[in-house]
Amino acid sequence: MVNLIYLTVLFPLLGFIINGVFGRKIKNEKIIGIIGSSTIGLAFIIALFAFFETLSLPVENREHIIELFTWLKAGGLDIHIAYQVDQLSLVMALIVTGVGFIIHVYSIGYMHGDKSFWRFFAYLNLFIFMMMNLILADNFVLLFLGWEGVGLSSYLLIGFWYDKKFEKSTTSEAGKKAFIVNRIGDFAFLLGIFLIYLTFGSLNFGEVFARAGAPGIPESTFNFIALFLFIGAIGKSAQLPLYVWLPDAMAGPTPVSALIHAATMVTAGVYMVARSSILFASAPAILTVVAVVGAATALYAASIAIVQNDIKKVLAYSTISQLGYMFLALGVGAFSAGIFHLMTHAFFKALLFLGAGSIIHVMHEEQNIQNYGGLKKYMPYTFVTFLIAALAISGIPPLSGFFSKDEILWSSFANGNVVYWGIGAFTALLTAFYMFRLVYLTFMGKERIAKDKHPHESSKVMTVPLIALAVLATIGGFIGIPALFAGEGGNKFGQWFEPVFKNAEAKLATYQTYSHSLEFTLMTISVLLAITGILIARGIYLKNPAYADKIKNRFNGVYKILWNKYFVDEFYDRIIVMPIYRFSESVLWKITDAKIIDGVVNNTASLINSISAKIRKFENGVAQFYALIMAVGIAIALFWIIFTL
């Protein structure tokens, strides 16, 4: 099955073509949904068989390059459409196709009755196709193709309901914002790719990473390469300061939010940094930047989430925060821990978004959690699965989020410093608080539901995917049980990735070792902090709801800052967007375009018109005049011949 890994890319493309070309004519939601979902399901099956086949091989034989054909060949540049099958790409392929398949099935129920049902599934398949190219690519050019492709797909899906109002604009404006902000990071990513080629003479992962491990290349070169690549990751994975597109991505249908936030686009930056681990390990200063940005983003986004009332906005800022956790892990050299949290996050965050979609669907697009309350009795399956996801993201044992979050916190302490751990632990408290604020206001307490809303449980095509994700969110962390509990051979997930990250980790193997008792102590503290966050949320929003308003009024200044997201969008608008707009309007448009460019064109036309008006006088239609001109011409020609020869 390893040799057939290209089918995991081909099947989503096939689904995109069939639904994209013939979907309008099919006019049958069931057939369209089956085509869109089955192509991803088949891709998942192939990836699963490839995983088990690879698992059965000796460790030294687990990497394969499946080359299809030559794509670009010019001078020393030799780029192939080729896919790399190894421990990292296989795990990513299972996440993307597995969670993607569940989201596709869920979408059949969620998008029922939509006039562009076929177009939605075509775009979803295109998204998976591009993401599979990104994670399976064996070179930076093919990776960048998938990188740009998921950007295009996100634009199409975020703005899917292009005529629908979203906050102060439309969904199409939100899609445009995502596309444009990502271009900033993508420009830096391109610079990084150019510098890689100039430095190593190749863009193939195998050649680049092998030469990166050899001595002789200045650290400053690695610093520039890693910095450019990381700026690309900042844009794609919504880190400070380029995170502003992700909350607006909530304008798209909820399955899109689940796909973007859980399994695909935002994880691309994490994957790229992990794939390029040897380049980052060779630039320790930039790794520190990665850790600092990750820690700051985790805390920053979590603080915003504690006051948001839009159910999808809470989850959006939660995603930004959890991505910060992943980059914190990568920044301290714990690459496998970052990917571990990427995987568990895919399970519980997809579950949270699909649970939110189930609520929004039956509440007729109502997204304000202040207008919910008491939904537990109406939506028991949604409630239980949502609660599991909330516990998992809060890091409550033995759910999946506990294992991955704890590994990041421990790595941030052991490989970094106590400040990293402190920020991560406090963020865990905030995470538990805002997630259970969401749970209590949505499912428990007094009903605040409008009379025209009639909540009920969603259909099976939507609840079965919730149950499947709830199972994964519950047991998914057991493959990464730390050595603290299972001995040195316990963390199977970390062992699986050892061949991929061994060279990078060898460069960074300068950290102090600590006892298991300290690890257990820190783990206990982080769990207690999470429980504290849950209890605080329970005390305020379930036991004494009026107290929330008292806190709001007492700390009104802080509340306004958090409610307005630190005014970052307004700052960007005033300092960057509007000056560029005014410059474009007053200089580029009114002067450069209207006066200079149009002036040159218009004056040229006027000159030609003036000349032609004078020449036109010679074309008066009088035969005698034409004969006179001819005679004069002949006389001049004869005069020239006689006196010049």
pLDDT for 490: 66
What the block records as the tokens of 297 is 């983003």
204 or 494, which is more confident: 204
* pLDDT recorded at residue 510: 57
Q: What is the pLDDT of residue 27?
A: 85
- Residues 323-336 pLDDT 10s: 999 999 999 999 99
Neighbouring C-beta atoms of residue 235, cutoff 10 Å: 26
Check pLDDT > 70 for residue 129.
yes
Alpha-carbon torsion (431, 470, 336, 147), positive or negative: negative
Q: For 108-126, what is the mean pLDDT? A: 94
The mean pLDDT value of the chain amounts to 92
Max Cα distance, the chain (Å): 116
pLDDT-based confidence at residue 88 (cuts at 50, 70, 90): very high
With H, G, I as helix, E, B as strand and everything else as coil, classify residue 345: helix
Cβ contact 268:302 at 8 Å: no
Q: At what angle do helices 311-331 and 284-305 cross, to 10 degrees?
A: 160
For residues 278 and 507, the answer to whether their CB atoms sit within 8 Å is yes
Q: Cα–chain-centroid distance for residue 335?
A: 18
- Output 445 or 424, whichever has higher pLDDT: 424
Q: Give the least confident one: 47-56, 410-419, 551-560, 631-640.
A: 631-640
CA–CA separation, 308 and 545 (whole Å): 16
Phi, psi of 541 (to 5 degrees): -95, -15
Condensed to tens digits (0 to 9), the pLDDT of residues 369-380 reads: 999 999 999 999
Which of 52, 190, 43, 45 lies closest to 131 in space, CA to CA? 43
Please state, in angstroms and rounded to a whole number, the distance separating the CA atoms of residues 477 and 475.
Answer: 6
Among 279-288, 401-410, 512-521, the minimum mean pLDDT is found in: 512-521
In this prediction, residue 496 has a pLDDT band, given cuts at 50, 70 and 90, of very high
Q: What percent of the chain has pLDDT over 70?
A: 97
ω into 397 cis (within 30 of 0): no
Question: Under 8 Å CB-to-CB from 411, ≥6 apart: which residues?
Answer: 329, 332, 333, 334, 337
Q: What is the pLDDT of residue 621?
A: 72
- For the chain, the structural domain boundaries read 141-394+401-557, 569-644
Contacts 24+ apart (CB under 8 A), 197-201: 197/77, 199/225, 201/76
The average pLDDT across 386-395 equals 97
Strands 77-85 and 64-74: antiparallel
Q: Out of 225-239, 262-276, 621-635, which region has the weakest mean confidence (pLDDT)?
A: 621-635
Q: Taking the model in full, what pTM does it have?
A: 0.91
pLDDT of residue 91: 96
How far is residue 545 from each of residues 59, 372, 435, 463, 542, measured CA to CA in Å?
56, 14, 16, 30, 6
Q: What is the pLDDT of residue 405?
A: 96
Q: Is the pLDDT of residue 77 over 90?
A: no
Give tens-digit pLDDT for 24-66: 999 899 999 999 999 999 999 999 999 999 999 999 899 999 9
Which has the closest alpha carbon to 35: 117, 154, 148?
117
Euclidean distance between CA atoms 501 and 280, whole angstroms: 11
Which tens digits make up the pLDDT trace of 594-632?
Answer: 888 888 888 888 888 888 887 777 676 777 777 888 888
Measured in degrees and rounded to the nearest 5, phi and psi for residue 369 equal -70, -15
Of residues 204, 4, 216, 194, the one with CA closest to residue 93: 4
Q: How many CB atoms lie within 10 A of CB 35?
A: 22
- Residue 72, φ and ψ in degrees, nearest 5: -130, 135
As beta bridge partners, residue 69 has 81
Q: Which DSSP helix (H) or strand (E) runs through 545?
A: none
pLDDT of residue 379: 95
Residue range 140-151: mean pLDDT, rounded = 96
Residue 524 scores a pLDDT above 70: yes
User: CA 336: distance to chain centroid?
Assistant: 19
Query: How does residue 489 score in pLDDT terms, banded at 50, 70 and 90?
Result: low
CB 476 within 8 A of CB 405: no
Per-residue model confidence (pLDDT) at position 511: 58
Residues 6+ apart with CB under 8 A from 644: none
- Specify the long-range contacts of residues 574-583, CB closer than 8 Å, at least 24 apart: none
Kindly tell me if the per-residue pLDDT of 390 is higher than 60.
yes
Of the given ranges (13-17, 271-275, 361-365, 463-467), which has the lowest mean pLDDT?
361-365
**Residue 523 — very low, low, confident or very high, per pLDDT cuts 50/70/90?**
very high
Task: Give CA–CA dist 101/449, Å, rounded.
Answer: 33
Q: Other CB atoms closer than 10 Å to residue 164's CB: what's the count?
A: 15
Task: Give the sign of the dihedral formed by CA 303, CA 306, CA 310, CA 313.
Answer: positive
Q: Which residues make Cβ contacts (< 8 Å) with residue 601, sequence separation at least 6? A: none
DSSP string, 96-146: HHHHHHHHHHHHHHHTTT-TTHHHHHHHHHHHHHHHHHHHHBSBHHHHHHH
Cβ(121)–Cβ(32) below 8 Å: yes
